[in-house]
């Protein structure tokens, strides 16, 4: 069946705002998802011992968003107010890490590399 014009409803749908990720803050690593919400970036998931983790970071508290190599994989490093650093790697579709980084930079008004 040939592909026809894109359905107008599909054109109006917003871009995905949730991403499958792993993140590390200090010595604690978790797997779950990152969701862009009006209040900030919400990280929700579980760590290695099965404990649930939840953190919402206000966009105003994000000082810098860098994309770099971490242990051979691309990742995002967020510098958060108070000297906190959060490393995020993607478990999602190709290109999602760059997309998430650009959205975070835009929402946070962050400088980047």
Q: Which pLDDT does position 93 carry in this prediction?
A: 84
Residue-averaged pLDDT of the chain:
84
List per-residue pLDDT tens for the chain, 113 residues long.
445 554 454 444 455 589 999 999 888 899 999 999 988 999 999 998 889 988 999 999 999 999 988 778 889 999 999 889 999 999 988 889 999 999 999 999 876 55
**What is the strand order of the sheet 28-37 is part of?**
52-57, 40-47, 28-37, 18-25, 84-90, 73-80, 62-70
Render pLDDT for 60-88 as a digit per residue (tens, 0 to 9): 999 999 998 877 888 999 999 988 999 99
Q: Which of 65, 85, 84 is closest to 76 using CA atoms?
A: 65
d(CA 95, CA 13) in angstroms, rounded, equals: 19
| Burial class of 43 by CB neighbour count within 10 A (0 to 12, 13 to 18, 19+) | buried
Q: Which pLDDT does position 13 carry in this prediction?
A: 44
Q: Supply the pTM of this predicted model.
A: 0.80
């Amino acid at each position: 069946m040939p592909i026809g014009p894109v359905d107008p409803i599909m054109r109006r749908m917003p871009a995905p705002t949730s991403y499958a990720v792993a993140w590390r803050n200090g010595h604690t690593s978790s797997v779950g998802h990152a969701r862009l919400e009006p209040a900030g970036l919400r990280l929700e998931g579980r760590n290695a011992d099965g404990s649930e983790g939840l953190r919402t970071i206000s966009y105003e508290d994000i000082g810098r968003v860098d994309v770099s190599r971490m242990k051979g994989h691309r990742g995002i490093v967020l510098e958060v107010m108070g000297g906190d650093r959060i490393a995020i790697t993607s478990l999602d579709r190709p290109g999602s890490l760059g997309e998430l980084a650009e959205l975070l930079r835009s929402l946070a008004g962050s400088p980047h590399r």
